[in-house]
Chains A and B, each alone.
Chain A
Amino acid sequence: MSTTNPTASSPIEAAGEGVATYVDQRLGSNKFLARNLGKVFPDHWSFMLGEIALYSFIVILLSGVYLTLFFKPSMVEVIYDGSYVPLKGIEMSEAYSSTLDISFDVRGGLLIRQMHHWAALIFVAAIAVHMFRVFFTGAFRKPREFNWIIGVGLATLALAAGFSGYSLPDDLLSGNGLQIARGIVQSIPIIGTWGAFLLFGGEFPGTDFISRLYGIHILLVPGLILALVTVHLMLVWTQKHTQFPGPGRTNSNVVGYPLMPVYMAKAGGFFFIVFGICTLIAGLVTLNPIWVFGPYTPDQVSAGSQPDWYIGWLDGALRIMPNIESHLFGYTISWNILTPAVIMPGVVFTALAFYPFLEAWVTGDKREHHLLDRPRNNPTRTGIGVMAITFYGLLWIGGGNDIIATSFNLTINSITWFLRLTIFVLPPIAFVVTRRICLALQRRDRDKLLHGYETGRVLRLPHGEFIEVHEPINYKEMAVITSKTDIAPLPAPVKIDADGVANPYYRIKSIRAKLSHFFYAENIAKPTAAEIEAAQHHVAHDAALEAPLHAYEDADELHNRHGGVLHHPGMADSNADQLAQRAEH
């Protein structure tokens, strides 16, 4: 019996109400619905990047389940007898053979396989772009540090999922990647040789690895990703999403659209769009054509072998590293492998995970931040981000150096040397250039706030002076520019205080002060309210001088003070036309 909504319009709605009551009596769900059906979500396109990752992950899960019904994770040798003629009668592992069956004999199998792989590429790319957005806008600051660390964990797991996934078909290209992985494990001092043997169940390639990788790829890693994504989303839900500064947006509210109906429609619609795009490209573009590579055997490799794009940076690092190896007391330490493949990524991911805490320590800022930073207002952070991207990009180029060489008529040797030099030179240059650009933009913002923006209209005043007319900025820009928070660098600590007591934390505090100075000393200060008032008076004055002239453009007839006609309809517009008109009369 419907008592809560006497105007229930249809039997379906009435039934739905019944269900809601049934569930509420067991779970207390109506409280949740009351609070959350109207929950407000801010609307900006860059907030959808994380959604791309989430939705492509769902596509991965769905298509992955389908693939598990057909794939056989076994390295037992079989003779292929399917539809693909160039491999008929060839000996290969059952894993490879079942992947060929999916691609050629199961209708729609190739579509699902390519959908799975394309969605995986999109997943990792979306995580990267989402991470950049969060980093450059400072969304990792209090209270979202945990979410940042979970995000870095998700990024690592995504790499593991991708690598384990594309290695499953046991084709020549991915098998070579596994061989390289085993070489990397083997290079680890003390435990590496045993580690490689335990991992592969003996020597390489053995007969265990694909089935081990299978369990890791379909159960362990996705399970961890699902768990972490759930926590990640719950935190976003309870802490509420951050928002860009703008009119009406403060640090203690959220401005946007309610969950039902607008956000549901937009987010739900975006899910179908991402799903649809994954399916479309899976149908239109070939991806990972394993039938061309051939089955894996440890004594063959193709020219132009690369891992999937998200591992390319590690491959590039391995390529450009010089050949340094040490031999001590009968033991070998392969710096040429450890540095690019173990030490460097370890440092990168650790630095990434701990960055929010470093920045909090450097600013001494313990406030909550729900309004996002504009990247220009934190030039050092933005510079560090661009520097990291430059470093990553150079390694990425290294990973494809042979294809770049053949495509652009260069030599692999010169590309390698070029990268060996620029990997040290280019990132610091990128940092400095980015910081300068950010500071310049800050000055521009200050100018805009004080003097309005230049209209390009030049006005000659009655006494002969030329001015360029400025117009005051609008509400949106004003709100955005004034949202900047000034952060003062921490003061240098006192080494010995007035009573002669030495400061036990002097060294660490002075490092902190120096870092703080490096981060924030050059920031352009926001103008005070009085300065802005004064400056805007000036702008309004100029605008008032010009205002009458706008009428000039619209008016049909214009007279001067003495009644003389300056302009009337039908009057000629140019000298030539005027002369012509006179000639007619």
Chain B
Amino acid sequence: MKFLAARRRQPVVALAMLLFALVAVGGVYAAVGSVRPAEAAGAASSETQVEMGKQLYLQGCSSCHSLQAQGSTSGPTLIGVGAAAVDFQVGTGRMPLAAPGVQAAAGPPQYNAEETAALAAYVSSLAPGPAIPNAEQVDFGSADIAEGGVLFRVNCQQCHQAAGQGGALTQGKYAPSLMNATPTQMYEAMITGPQSMPVFSDSTLPGENKKAVIAYVDYLQTAADPGGLSLGRLGPVTEGLFLWTAVFGALIAVAVWIGIKAR
């Protein structure tokens, strides 16, 4: 105690107190503000699910999307968007919108799987729309990766980049990286066209083709880099940055070593 008291007026103490306070407040917030645990009661029938979804909707979504989901200036109509859209937007954490901006960003989901399913059921009950793909629709095991690559390069790489790392759109919007997308999310994004993404319905891009695309993106997610460290697979920009920092740094370090007098 005397040790601490004797040093209580040192300037570093103020800094330490500040850090402690920040960590404490932040830690408490993180612990308390985390996702609510899953509810024990299971949804018995689809009617209960729709009812549950409606309740959740009124609580968390109606402020922007209006009470009958017809939309408002803050959020588009959800009538006809289908269960797939809800599953995608809520499942990737884009909805509920965390903060206003040019684009909804992916993040930790705010609703668990059961709640998401309930919301999806409610929205799809309003009007027919794209359904959540079933397991068979996203089973890409037998799809041809090469064909998937061709379709990916025709339809996807202009926004999401050749290696699926994402790309810039206008006015601060962006096509996100695909490195963490699940097959279901990919399928849902293609058929619902979230935000700026165009719609690739099953009539223009049939299911078999979608499987091939998913197979190729899955390959990109797990592919090795044959040549060594990948530098983000972003192309000449990161390669040039690496050249001018690491490589040239090493070369000049060696040149200086050669020139200085030995000990």
How would you classify the secondary structure of chain A's contact residues: helix, strand, loop or mixed? helix
Chain B residue at minimal CB-CB distance from A274: B251
Q: How far is the CA of A33 from the CA of B173 in the complex (A)?
A: 68
Is B227 a contact of A110 with CB atoms below 8 Å? Answer: yes
**Nearest CB in chain B to that of A56: its residue:** B251
Q: Which among A129, A288, A302 is the interface contact of B239 at CB below 8 angstroms? A: A288
| Cβ contact within 8 Å between A114 and B168 | no
- Asked whether, in the complex, the Cβ of A284 is within 8 Å of the Cβ of B170, the reply is no
Q: When the two chains form their complex, are residues B162 and A306 in contact, meaning their CB atoms are under 8 A apart?
A: no
Give the distance in Å from the alpha carbon of A359 to the alpha carbon of B255 in the complex. 30
Q: Is A86 an interface residue (CB 8 A)?
A: yes
Q: What is the CA–CA distance of A246 and B231 in the complex, to the nearest angstrom?
A: 43
The residue from B149, B231, B238 contacting A87, defined by CB atoms under 8 A apart: B149
Closest to A293 in B: B162
For chain A, the count of residues having a C-beta within 8 Å of the partner chain is 68
CA distance A118 to B243 in the complex (A): 8
Which of B160, B168, B236, B238 has the largest number of chain A CB atoms within 10 A?
Answer: B236
> Measured between C-beta atoms, what is the minimum distance from A256 to chain B in Å?
11
Q: Is the CB of B153 within 8 A of A300?
A: yes
* A49 interface hit (Cβ, 8 Å): yes
> Known contacts being A121-B240, A303-B159, is A402 close to B248, with CB within 8 Å?
no
Residues of B contacting A44 with CB < 8 Å?
259
Identify the stretch in A58-66, A223-231, A403-411, A450-458 within 8 Å (CB) of chain B at 4 or more residues: A403-411
Nearest CB of chain A from residue B38's CB, rounded to whole Å: 33
- Chain A residues near B84: list those with CB within 8 A: none
Which of A45, A52, A122, A405 contacts B259, CB < 8 Å? A45
Contact A405 B243 (CB under 8 A): no
B228 touches A283 (CB 8 A): yes
- Decide if A287 is an interface residue (CB 8 Å cutoff): yes
Contact A303 B235 (CB under 8 A): no
Find chain B residues with CB under 8 A from A89 CB. Answer: 146
CB of A286 within 8 A of CB of B158, answer no
> Contact: B247 with A122, CB < 8 Å?
yes
Residues from chain B with a CB closer than 8 A to the CB of A283 are 228
- Which stretch, A147-155, A265-273, A428-436, A514-522, touches the partner chain B? A265-273
* Given the contacts A266-B258, A293-B162, A405-B168, A86 and B229 also touching, CB distance less than 8 Å: no
Q: Is the CB of B258 within 8 A of A45?
A: yes
User: Is the beta-carbon distance between A86 and B146 smaller than 8 angstroms?
Assistant: yes
Q: Mark B165-178, 1 if CB is under 8 A from A, else 0.
A: 11110111011000
Which one of A307-315, A370-378, A475-483, A502-510 is at the B interface?
A: A307-315
Please name all residues of chain B whose beta carbon is closer than 8 Å to the beta carbon of A86 when the two chains form the complex. Answer: 145-146, 148-149, 216, 219
Binary interface encoding of chain A residues 98-121 relative to chain B, with 1 for a CB under 8 A from any of its CBs, else 0? 000001100000100010001001
Query: A292 touching B162 by the CB < 8 A rule?
Result: yes
| Whole-angstrom CA separation of A306 from B237 in the bound complex | 7
Chain A residues within CB distance 8 Å of chain B: 43-46, 48-49, 52, 85-90, 103-104, 110, 114, 118, 121-122, 125-126, 129, 172-173, 266, 269-270, 273-274, 277, 281-289, 291-294, 300-309, 312, 399-403, 405-406, 409-414
- 8 further interface pairs, Cβ-Cβ under 8 Å (given A309-B240, A413-B172): A44-B259, A48-B259, A277-B251, A286-B225, A303-B166, A307-B236, A403-B238, A413-B170
